[in-house]
């Protein structure tokens, strides 16, 4: 069963926590919330929502709860992309690929990643075809 989707701000907070875990609410407020102008209550609400959705866990440590991720940011990003493709793009990546081509601002690193992915997809298709 997949976890519930999360918003952009929750994803950013999850990424911050992955790099700074375990962390108390006070530590997250100081390092993440304050630079963004977020109140303590907002950060706490976001953290508790992420915990309720299964992305964070907490453990009492020295009188305060320390939060840690239950999954890596890469897994969360894959879920967010899958949700976007299924819900917004109706299962097709073509609109995204067209947008990238029209934008014309793909770095050399991104282009190399795309070429590697296409090569991997072609290899997988050939392997699947030979097993049919």
Could you report the per-residue pLDDT of 82-124, keeping only the tens digit for each?
A: 777 888 888 888 888 888 888 878 888 988 888 898 889 888 8
| Predicted pLDDT at 71 | 81
Which pLDDT tens digit goes with each residue over 58-89? 999 888 999 999 987 677 777 777 777 888 88
Cβ atoms of 6 and 24 closer than 8 Å: no
Tell me the three state secondary structure of residue 32: helix
Domains and their CATH numbers in the chain: 8-69 (1.10.10.10)
C-beta neighbour count of 106 within 10 angstroms: 13
Spatial distance between the Cα atoms of 118 and 7, rounded to a whole number of angstroms: 29
Q: What's the pLDDT at 2?
A: 65
Distance CA 51, CA 97 (A): 34
Q: Judge if pTM exceeds 0.85.
A: no
* 106 vs 88: CA distance, rounded Å: 22
């Amino acid at each position: 069963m997949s976890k519930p989707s999360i918003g952009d701000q929750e994803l950013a907070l999850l990424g911050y926590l992955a790099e700074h875990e375990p962390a108390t609410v006070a530590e997250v407020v100081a390092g993440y919330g304050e630079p963004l102008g977020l109140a303590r209550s907002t950060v706490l609400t976001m953290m508790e929502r992420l915990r309720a959705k299964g992305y964070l866990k907490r453990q009492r440590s020295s009188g305060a709860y320390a939060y840690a991720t239950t999954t890596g940011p890469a897994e969360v990003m894959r879920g967010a992309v899958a949700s976007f493709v299924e819900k917004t793009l109706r299962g097709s990546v073509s609109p995204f690929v067209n947008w990238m081509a029209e934008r014309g601002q793909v770095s050399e690193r991104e282009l190399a990643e795309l070429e590697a992915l296409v090569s991997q997809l072609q290899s997988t298709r050939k392997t699947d075809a030979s097993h049919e």
